[in-house]
Amino acid sequence: MIPIETIQSTALTLMDKAAIEIPEDYLSGLQQAADIEDGDLSSFVLQAMLENYEAAKEDRRAMCGDTGCPRWYVKIANEAQIQGGPAALEEALRSATAEATNGVPLRPNRVHPLWRTDHNNNVGINAPEIEYAFEPEGQWIDLTTVHKGGLFGTDYRMLFPSDGIEGIKRFYLDSLVAFGKRGLSCQPAIIGIGLGGSKDTCMVLGKRAACLRTVGDRNPDPKIAELEEEFKELGNNIGMGAMGFVGKSMVIDCHIEVGYCHTGGMQMSVHAFCLSSRRACARIHQDGTVEYRTDPEWFTPYQRRETVEWQPAKNLKKSA
């Protein structure tokens, strides 16, 4: 039985880590971009950001004043048992979100869409989002918090099979150029692309591609992996850099996730996880031990399974 107090205290630590510590994979990606950036102003911006990450860690203060919209991804292994059940888990995550908002502190960003009511704790109707996935084996839960900025850099379009790769590229470039001007999407960013599914699935896949995969990770489908590389390159050749200044750093990495869709369509979404790519994760084991990490390891073979039945990983290894 995973103790609920451990879930609560781990969640609080994750809120703090996400807001303050830039993940190592994003940091090294940005350092590489800074090394080759030759636009004067873009270079200045990247250098300032690198200093900013240091300042955040040294002072234990949030790296960005807009601390985004905290949300939770919960992965539950098949044999895990949570003290108090799923309702207790949700209460613990909502409580950690509220507590961290005052503790770190974070900006109380979440308001009612119509009445603009602000509880000053980032908790409200449908906030924070809590999303779930499962793994077929194990006795642990993974908690991941992502504090993604909420206003710019994301778009959706219904494409059709006849749009082809050329149409996908067009919408990709349109999204980068349009939101890149003036740096609205706070680039360079991890770009996530969702393809297929239905409109909502497509948005979810793209967002998870941006927020739950690390810089350097590639889709296991070799042709999609090639597209990811090509799109990264394409984005960095627009001629635009940080803040929309002349430069060549737009995309720290590009991740594509797909879902089976209606035979007539090819839904596409584009998401930008910004210069403050805030994510933090932990695995909590049945005995209450906790391991922190920055890679959510969300997209396992199980999450991307194509068939009705699931073949356990050991069988896959044998046939590989």
Among positions 117-136, residues that touch other proteins (CB under 8 A) are: 117-118, 120
Q: How far is the CB of 270 from other proteins (least distance, A)?
A: 13
What is the distance, to the nearest Å, from the Cα of residue 87 to the centroid of all Cα atoms in its chain?
Answer: 24
Nearest to 245 by CA among 36, 11, 31, 39: 39
What residues between 181 and 220 interact with other proteins by CB under 8 A?
181-184, 186
Q: How far is the CB of 266 from other proteins (least distance, A)?
A: 10
**If 0-12 CB within 10 Å is exposed, 13-18 middle and 19+ buried, where does residue 107 land?**
middle
Q: How far is the CB of 84 from other proteins (least distance, A)?
A: 28
Work out whether 52 is an interface residue with other proteins (CB under 8 A): yes
Determine the interface stretch with other proteins among 152-160, 201-209, 280-288, 301-309 (rule: CB under 8 A): 152-160
Indicate the residue among 109 and 303 with the shorter CB distance to other proteins. 109
The residue from 7, 11, 14, 62 that contacts other proteins (CB under 8 A) is 62
Peptide bond into 105 cis (omega under 30): yes
3-class secondary structure, 141: strand
Residue 252 near residue 24 (C-beta atoms within 8 A): no
Determine the interface stretch with other proteins among 72-80, 116-124, 296-304, 311-319 (rule: CB under 8 A): 116-124
Retrieve residue 300's tokens: 């396992």
Work out whether 16 is an interface residue with other proteins (CB under 8 A): no
The residue from 190, 202, 211, 243 that contacts other proteins (CB under 8 A) is 243
Q: Where are the beta strands (DSSP E) in the chain?
A: 69-77, 130-135, 141-148, 155-159, 189-196, 251-259, 266-273, 279-284, 290-293
Peptide bond into 86 cis (omega under 30): no
Determine the interface stretch with other proteins among 50-58, 88-96, 223-231, 306-314 (rule: CB under 8 A): 50-58
- C-alpha to C-alpha distances, 154 to 4, 138, 148, 176, nearest whole angstrom: 35, 35, 11, 9
Work out whether 139 is an interface residue with other proteins (CB under 8 A): no
Work out whether 41 is an interface residue with other proteins (CB under 8 A): yes
Indicate the residue among 73 and 231 with the shorter CB distance to other proteins. 231
The residue from 9, 66, 84, 218 that contacts other proteins (CB under 8 A) is 66
Peptide bond into 128 cis (omega under 30): yes
**What is the distance between the alpha carbons of residues 147 and 142, in angstroms, rounded to a whole number?**
17
Work out whether 275 is an interface residue with other proteins (CB under 8 A): yes
